[in-house]
Amino acid sequence: MTYIKIPKGWEIPENRVTPESVYINRRKFIKDLGIVGAGAISLFSSTACAQDSRLLKQLKPFQEKTLDADKNEDFTVTRPLTDEIDAATFNNFYEFTSSKSTVWRRVEKFKTRPWEIEISGLVDKPMTIDIDDLIKQMPLEERIYRFRCVETWAMVVPWIGFPMKALLEKVQPKTEAKYVRMVTFLDRKVASQQNNTRLPWPYVEGLTLAEAMNDLTLLVVGIYGHILPPQHGAPIRLIVPWKYGFKSIKSIVSIELTDKKPRTFWNVLIPREYGFEANVNPNVPHPRWSQAREWLLPSRDRMYPTQIYNGYGEYVAHLY
Ligand code: MTE
């Protein structure tokens, strides 16, 4: 019998070598070498920041805190993995700056531990829990996901986290709960842009309860084998890979179950440009960016066709 593997939507190959094996080998290599090697190897493999000792220093304490999580083989992609340094030096985190390439420098004073997260609202068992206690209780796994920003850049990242469903099952949503509202920290002393009163701080995002319970919806606490560094939204963030990146809220302090559609940061600010649903769709242009094609970090040289639901239609198309 011939075995034919039918690729899933997000596995469509693209004309680049598959560096996932490189990443896996690198992780093994890093393990063999010990922690100090981790930063060093990442730096040497980067083009943009090859000599930057400040970046090495910034990332090192996070790379040292490795997380034990089995890889979930259902979620891999054939598109090449983004280099850790490229992902860590091109970020959106408007609490700190709107300059993507400098976020990593602006978050140096952002303390992401200790950290509490509150899960409340229309639930039978509300809780407030320290992030590390939560991590101990949850089924951590590694998933390699495609990630797509509405600004048309894309990346492929190995996230470590747990399905949001697992947390919601713990707190037991009441039958009236229809939406999940998530809120980022508010600390004007640490996050200078939160002093800009024209912006509706704190950052808020939301999902329908059905979206939050979907298998793809991940609460993320790690990346590239270790805890999240602050530029990626430490210590806990959302990842919803079939939606544009702005839905994937960072540094969450509150998850509230509600019967009202949450008013979200970007939707409040520019409703014409940012809807609540925000599913990746090549056929619906954003007023400022065609969504037909995307480019992969770090190079804008080549464009690739955008896939509906970012390739994850098999999981989520039935929701819409
Ligand atoms: N969450 C908060 N709190 N603040 C932000 O500015 N930016 C969003 C999202 N989550 C943002 C946020 C946008 S626009 C994107 S594309 C992703 O985070 C970027 O995630 P990354 O920097 O880890 O790649």
Q: Among 62, 93, 100, 155, which residue has the most ligand 1 atoms within 8 Å of its CB, making it the best to mutate?
A: 93
* Orientation of helix 35-45 relative to helix 53-64, angle to 10°: 140
Ligand 1 pocket residues where CB is under 6 Å = 91-95, 149, 184, 203, 232-233, 245-246, 248-251
Measuring CA to CA, how many Å separate 295 from each of 22, 149, 301?
A: 21, 10, 8
Spell 113-151 as b/e; 16+ CB within 10 A means b.
Answer: eebebebebbbeeeeebebeebbeebeebbbbbbbbbbb
Task: Round the average pLDDT of the chain to a whole number and report it.
Answer: 88
Summarised one tens digit per residue, pLDDT across range 228-242 is 999 999 999 999 999
Residue 3 has pLDDT above 50, yes or no: no
Q: Is the pLDDT of residue 34 over 80?
A: no
pLDDT at residue 23, rounded to an integer: 46
Q: Residue 171 and residue 101: Cα distance in Å, rounded? A: 38
Residue nearest to atom 14 of ligand 1 (CA): 246
Q: Assess whether pLDDT exceeds 50 at residue 40.
A: no
Q: Which ligand 1 atom sits closest to the C-alpha of 244? A: 16
Over range 210-219, report the average pLDDT. 98
Backbone angles phi, psi at 241, to 5 degrees: -70, -10
| 111 token code pair | 């303390």
pLDDT band at 128 (very low <50, low <70, confident <90, very high): very high
CA of residue 175 to ligand 1 center, whole Å: 31
- Residue 147: the pLDDT is 98
Dist CA 274 CA 206 (whole Å): 13
Measured by CA distance, the residue closest to atom 9 of ligand 1 is 246
Q: Residue 203 C-alpha to ligand 1 middle, in angstroms?
A: 10
- Mean pLDDT, rounded, for 240-258: 98
Q: What pTM was estimated for this model as a whole?
A: 0.88
Residue nearest to atom 23 of ligand 1 (CA): 232
Mutate to test the pocket of ligand 1, among 96, 181, 205, 250 (most ligand atoms within 8 A of CB): 250
Which of 184, 246, 268, 295 gets mutated to test ligand 1 (max ligand atoms within 8 A of its CB)? 246
**Residue of 85, 92, 243 to mutate, ligand 1, most atoms within 8 A of C-beta:** 92
pLDDT in the model for residue 76: 87
4-18, 84-98, 125-139, 294-308: range with lowest mean pLDDT:
4-18
Half-sphere exposure of 188 (CA within 13 A, CB side): 7
pLDDT in tens, 156-201: 999 999 999 999 999 999 999 999 999 999 999 999 999 999 999 9
Question: Quick one: pLDDT at residue 53?
Answer: 85
Peptide bond into 114 cis (omega under 30): yes
pLDDT of 237:
99
In the predicted model, is pLDDT for residue 29 greater than 90? no
The yes-or-no verdict on residue 216 having pLDDT over 70 is yes
| Residue 158 DSSP label | E
- CA–centroid distance, 287 to ligand 1, in Å, is 20
Q: Give the tens place of pLDDT for each residue, 56-71.
A: 889 999 999 999 999 9
